[in-house]
A and B are shown apart, each in its own frame.
Chain A
Amino acid sequence: MFNTYQPPVYDYQRSVDQQAGQIAHHPLIIVGAGPIGLAAGLDAGVQGMPALILDDNNTVSVGSRAVCYSKRALEVLDRLGCAGRMVEKGVCWKVGKMFFQDQLVSSFDLLPEAGYSQPAFINLQQYYLEEYMVDRAGELDQVEIRWQNRVSAVEQQGEQVVVSIETPDGPYQLSTDWLIVADGANSSVRSMMGLSMDGRVFRDRFLIADIIMKADFPSERWFSFDPSYHPGQSTLLHSQPDNVWRLDFQLGWDKDPEEEKKPENIIPRVKAMMGEAMEFELEWASVYTFMCRRMERFRHGRVIFAGDAAHQVSPFGARGANSGFQDSDNLIWKLRLVMQGLAPQQLIDSYCEEREFAADENLMNSTRATDFITPKSDVSLQFRNATLALAKQHDFARKLVNSGRLSDPAILSHSSLNTPDADPFDSPMLPGAVMEDAPIEGPKGEGWALQLVDHRFQLLCFCEDATRISAGELQQLSELAESEIPLRPLLVYRRGTPPAAIAAVHDSEGLMAQRYDGRDGSCFLIRPDQHLAARWRSLDCEAVRLALNTATCNL
């Protein structure tokens, strides 16, 4: 059914590991080359760790799946070296509008301020995203993807996991120290291990149609409650590259999915929405029922679940892949430290602590949006319609209109890896939050704050005048750089010339100081996943060492 896209075919290749009687060992194996398995593999690769990805298929995700990728997802993908192509191909947007009975009642702007490297959101078909990630994996020597390698059994044996794999050449086995399971919402590995994923199924059906049409609507997210062309239900419109538009029709529970999928039934719905005169072609269509559920625990011994395999949400708010990227972002640096012997396995448990908390927030927001869109009782329908009617006039009701709260970066403010503030700060960037981006000038010219973070911890030390850094302070910072856990001190200065002995960036527009409340002397300890671990008003090496140990479970 594709008119605009030719899916790549990734050939199966027999590997040297497929010899009878041997079980080759790989330190890290990932099941699934969907967005999250690929992100995990790329992250390992850019951090210099070998990773083997196994996928049962030989191409990218086909059909109408994820469209919207958030600023935070793009920040992660940028660190992995593949956001550039996505943003270039994608449709950038930040404004959402909500309509009730054909009248605009509410709107939001997700990024009202300039000075960020990534857009608020892009729309891009999931197959492009995956294709670009597979291309990126090809550039990393440490990352190998084996196509048409279906995992058929998983067994934990002591400190190892033995994985059985089916291929066109027959079965073989591998062993690994750590297995990341990213094989999607219907995770077969989860079933093989006898684990469940519990939650709610919403009694409603949605027709998702991707159509090709030449329309000059602005690139905004348009959500309509009870529009005259689709009475009593809701619709959603999104623009994608290649003149493809995502149309989403709420159908109700009583509709027959097989009937609704037929072009002769889809076309009248599209015409009703877009107007009789609009010329279009159908690209892809399917009917979905949505679920909100998660696994109780994301880690089982040396098997770690991530992405849809661990948690599944309804798509209102685009919290699926966008949260999955935050899973692998959170996990891989921890695995690296554990595998290097620099941190105990409790650090992996902190992945569960942090990402189960994040999953709960995503599930809560997706559930609330779905309940607003699909009211379960007469009284909730009445409250919903009362909210929408009041929203025509009143600000407070506009803010209550919930067509999906779009994916936001997790704020891990309760994480046991944080060091609570001892000094007052006036910034929403609490310990546990992602560090704010801002334009900077570094040794390589203009850049972005987020791009300063590599696989090490960073200690951002703010100073007004770089010339006035004392020899004593330099000495302290260079001693910190000798920590066993890799840590890079980085001077963030407003004026003056920094000494050559220390890495330094110029806060050229003062936006870092503003967004961090980074007054002269303030220090921020940043984790490799760009989350803030601790902050102080002045440098205290002992406090930094303690916070570093706290953030790596080395207490």
Chain B
Amino acid sequence: MTASDKTSGKLNTEANFHHAGEPVTRPYRAGDDLYEALIDSHQGLSDEQSQMLNARLILLLANHIGDLAVLRQALAAARESI
């Protein structure tokens, strides 16, 4: 993502998972690390608890992103063809 993308508030849908400061030796690695952590975080939860976890997670990440323009695009992309 370039700096101008940041100021223009465009949702980044290119692959962006990474380990800060580490060389990329396997292109799939950071994404798979995230995916596994995500699934693991639900380990042992009931469906209802899982839904609660997801809701909290969305709120945390949304606050981290902050920019409402970006968040509205993400909401629209997530809603598409459901």
Which of A's residues lie within 8 Å of B, judged by CB?
365, 368, 371-372, 377-380, 383, 387, 389-390, 393-400, 402, 405, 408, 411, 413, 428, 430, 433
Contacts and interface: CB of A to CB of B under 8 A. Distances in A.
Contacts of A397: 13
A377 B15 CA distance: 26
Given A395-B13, A399-B31, A368 B50 contact: no
Contact of B23 (A378, A389, A399, A430): A430
Given A379-B50, A395-B13, A405 B32 contact: yes
Contacts of B77: 390, 393-394
Given A399-B28, A408-B26, A372 B13 contact: no
Given A396-B16, A430-B23, A380 B32 contact: no
Given A395-B13, A411-B25, A413-B25, A383 B38 contact: yes
Contact of A428 (B16, B25, B38): B25
Given A400-B35, A411-B25, 9 more contacts: A372-B35, A380-B39, A383-B35, A393-B80, A395-B13, A396-B12, A399-B27, A408-B26, A428-B25
B13 A368 contact: no
A394 B81 CA distance: 14
- Chain A to chain B: the 6 pairs with minimum beta-carbon distance, closest first: A394-B13, A399-B15, A379-B50, A396-B15, A379-B42, A380-B39
Contacts of B28: 399, 402, 405
A400 B39 contact: no
Contacts of A377: 42
Nearest to B81: A389
B5 interface: no
B53 to A, nearest CB: 9
Interface residue SS majority, chain B: loop
A443 B12 CA distance: 52
Given A383-B39, A402-B35, A395 B26 contact: no
Interface of B: 12-17, 23-28, 31-32, 35-36, 38-39, 42, 45, 47, 50, 54, 77, 80-81
B35 A368 contact: yes
Contact of B14 (A371, A396, A430): A396
A405 B42 contact: no
Contacts of B31: 396, 399-400
24 contacts: A365-B32, A368-B32, A371-B39, A372-B35, A377-B42, A378-B47, A378-B50, A379-B39, A379-B45, A380-B42, A389-B81, A390-B77, A395-B13, A395-B14, A396-B12, A396-B14, A396-B15, A396-B17, A396-B31, A397-B13, A400-B35, A405-B28, A413-B25, A430-B25
Given A368-B32, A399-B28, A428 B23 contact: yes
A399 B38 CA distance: 16
Contacts of A394: 13, 77
A394 B42 CA distance: 25
A476 B35 CA distance: 52
A376 to B, nearest CB: 8
Contacts of A383: 35, 38-39
B51 to A, nearest CB: 8
A390 B14 CA distance: 12
Highest count of chain A CB atoms <10 Å: which of B23, B32, B80, B81:
B32
A66 to B, nearest CB: 22
A109 to B, nearest CB: 12
A112 to B, nearest CB: 12
Contacts of A387: 35
Nearest to B24: A428
A463 B71 CA distance: 54
Contacts of A390: 77
A395 B45 CA distance: 30
A433 B47 CA distance: 44
A428 B47 CA distance: 43
A379 B47 contact: yes
Contacts of B42: 377, 379-380
B70 to A, nearest CB: 14
Contacts of A408: 26
Contacts of A430: 23, 25
A502 B50 CA distance: 67
B9 to A, nearest CB: 17
A408 B77 CA distance: 34
A390 B31 CA distance: 15
A113 B25 CA distance: 17
Contacts of A393: 13, 77, 80
A387 B39 CA distance: 13
A371 B35 CA distance: 10
A379 B41 CA distance: 11
A371 to B, nearest CB: 7
Nearest to A411: B25
B44 to A, nearest CB: 10
Contacts of B80: 393
B40 to A, nearest CB: 10
Contacts of A380: 39, 42
A372 B39 CA distance: 10
A103 B38 CA distance: 26
Nearest to A375: B39
A372 B13 CA distance: 21
A396 B12 CA distance: 9
Contacts of A405: 26, 28, 32
A326 to B, nearest CB: 15
A383 B34 CA distance: 12
B49 to A, nearest CB: 10
Contacts of A411: 25
